[in-house]
Chain A
């Protein structure tokens, strides 16, 4: 009955005319707050990849890079747990997560992952700063580095395993987008916190991470078809474009800052971190926006039905 966006030049022929109940949304928008759960997605990435940097620094004799990685990981995981509790409303509610273990629930898997990872990060930084129990500290640091990559990418599964069109349709590329974004942001924090003598790996990782972040993001939106529009419009569009511009600037700065001074490295690092934050929040906003308009639910499902009929 209600047709929306009729005459919108960008819409496809099928997207141009569709039925809905007075234009009302079909799906419920996520109950999650952008600040807490959007932040949670970002901080988990910062923490997980920073743990890998910490282990690399420890292995290759770069103590300041190692310590910066451990500190960033602890700040990241600490704040992300705080954001999760804030979203749940009460700390005791987090304990309900540990009542059971369910492989069908990415949130359950993630809770156990964080429950194993957070103490390792805490121990590794504590022993580094105090100089006590160095052996346990090294073991904890390597343990955190083994779990770290999973901490950075499970959040992509967490949001993709929903009916939210802009999240679910991207489930193949989302983990790689998060992987690149986490690598770039951890590299950014290392660039800010470590002297030039030790920041070589961070400079190279900044470029690698940014390349993956931008490529996975582009591929994801392209493969989604019309749902990809949710990433280009409104608040999500602004965040994604700002994030991409900052990422390019940050990666270029990181690549060129090798001979440059501290100021260039710090500036590039800050740009990389801001870029990742913008892109994660952009992904979050695009998901919310894609639940608000019934078009994103009806049109792809109609296309799927038409495809199934034409095959039989």
Chain B
């Protein structure tokens, strides 16, 4: 199960952010400040913000559907970001305590009573999603409302979204819907419309949360080609073993050379 976030219908109302905070009883991100970044005072996903709505003000010609008259030279992009629930989840792989686990819904969840706050998952996440909360020193992120979906309910953010920008369901079904939506937009002249995070051949073998974007991913603060770091781990262990032998060989040489 997963999320499809269609940013082309997001109106930036932040109902998802608020619903997530309410349902999961998330504390505020101290200290509150006005960032001056358009209408975005949240800035990014954090240990206590599991949905974040980005506001992007762009100087770009906006045309009427099907390539008609230019109506404006400025456009707005709004997009609700969330944990991607990667198929190859680096956070889960590197967790030394087994606190992060894969649920029966294919999502990735942190168990707070097992987490020891080592912060390894924070540095492993290629999307910069998971973070350590200062007040308790533990790692937190979106659970895809594990408690709600287990009871057959829809995640709080998807439930609260008034425009169906956030859709929850079977991934294959969501992908069909998303592909159809991209085709419609392309046909209407929105040539920049593309899917992000849906591809099972990408660096994390696809996400449990994917997006319809209207520009390059980095414009939204998303990495253009993220990679699961543990993909290179076998090579890392090999280099480490060779380097360890080098230490031994070097010091043995230093002893032997003087004889």
Q: Which A residues have a C-beta under 8 Å from some C-beta of B?
A: 1, 18-22, 24-28, 30-32, 48-49, 52-53, 56, 59-60, 87-89, 93-94, 96-97, 99-100, 102, 104-108, 111, 145, 148-150, 152-154, 156-157, 159-164, 168, 171-176, 178-179, 182-183, 186-187, 200-205, 208-209, 212, 291, 294, 297-298, 301-302, 304-305
Among residues of A, the one whose C-beta sits closest to the C-beta of B244 is A149
Contact present for A153 and B243 (CB under 8 Å): yes
Contact present for A1 and B56 (CB under 8 Å): yes
Contact present for A162 and B243 (CB under 8 Å): no
6 pairs, A vs B, C-beta closer than 8 Å:
A32-B119, A99-B97, A150-B241, A154-B240, A157-B237, A204-B253
B153 at the interface (CB under 8 A from A): no
B236 at the interface (CB under 8 A from A): yes
Contact present for B239 and A152 (CB under 8 Å): no
**Interface set, chain B 19-77, CB cutoff 8 A to A:** 37-38, 43-44, 54, 56-58
B13 at the interface (CB under 8 A from A): no
CB-defined contacts of A182 to chain B, threshold 8 Å: 247
B219 at the interface (CB under 8 A from A): yes
In the complex, A53→B132 CA distance in Å? 39
> Which of A19, A160, A171, A305 makes the CB contact (< 8 A) with B219?
A19
In the complex, A251→B118 CA distance in Å? 36
Closest 9 CB pairs of A and B: A21-B221, A175-B243, A31-B119, A149-B244, A205-B254, A93-B116, A108-B96, A96-B116, A204-B254
Contact flags B230-243 to A (C-beta < 8 A → 1, else 0): 10110111011111
Contact present for A205 and B94 (CB under 8 Å): no
Contact present for A105 and B95 (CB under 8 Å): yes
Among residues of A, the one whose C-beta sits closest to the C-beta of B125 is A163
CB-defined contacts of A168 to chain B, threshold 8 Å: 229, 232
Given contacts A93-B117, A183-B247, A205-B254, contact A26 B128 (CB under 8 A): yes
Contact present for A52 and B124 (CB under 8 Å): no
In the complex, A100→B250 CA distance in Å? 34
CB-defined contacts of A178 to chain B, threshold 8 Å: 243
Min CB distance, A163 to chain B, in Å? 4
In the complex, A99→B101 CA distance in Å? 14
In the complex, A156→B247 CA distance in Å? 14
In the complex, A88→B130 CA distance in Å? 17
Contact present for A21 and B219 (CB under 8 Å): yes
Among residues of A, the one whose C-beta sits closest to the C-beta of B130 is A28
In the complex, A204→B250 CA distance in Å? 9
Min CB distance, B61 to chain A, in Å? 15
How many positions in chain B have a CB within 8 Å of any CB in the partner chain? Answer: 72
In the complex, A97→B253 CA distance in Å? 36
B180 at the interface (CB under 8 A from A): no
B146 at the interface (CB under 8 A from A): no
Contact present for A104 and B94 (CB under 8 Å): yes
Given contacts A106-B94, A171-B235, contact A179 B119 (CB under 8 A): no
In the complex, A168→B228 CA distance in Å? 11
CB-defined contacts of A49 to chain B, threshold 8 Å: 247, 251
In the complex, A97→B117 CA distance in Å? 11
Contact present for B218 and A19 (CB under 8 Å): yes
Min CB distance, B235 to chain A, in Å? 7
CB-defined contacts of B258 to chain A, threshold 8 Å: 200-201, 204
Contact present for B226 and A96 (CB under 8 Å): no
In the complex, A173→B246 CA distance in Å? 12
Given contacts A1-B56, A19-B219, 19 further A-B contacts (CB under 8 A): A21-B54, A22-B38, A56-B251, A56-B254, A87-B119, A96-B116, A99-B114, A100-B96, A102-B95, A105-B120, A149-B245, A161-B230, A161-B236, A171-B236, A171-B239, A176-B239, A183-B247, A209-B250, A294-B221
CB-defined contacts of B125 to chain A, threshold 8 Å: 27-28, 163
In the complex, A28→B129 CA distance in Å? 7
**Interface set, chain B 96-148, CB cutoff 8 A to A:** 96-99, 114-120, 122-132, 137
Min CB distance, A84 to chain B, in Å? 9
CB-defined contacts of B218 to chain A, threshold 8 Å: 18-21, 26, 294, 298
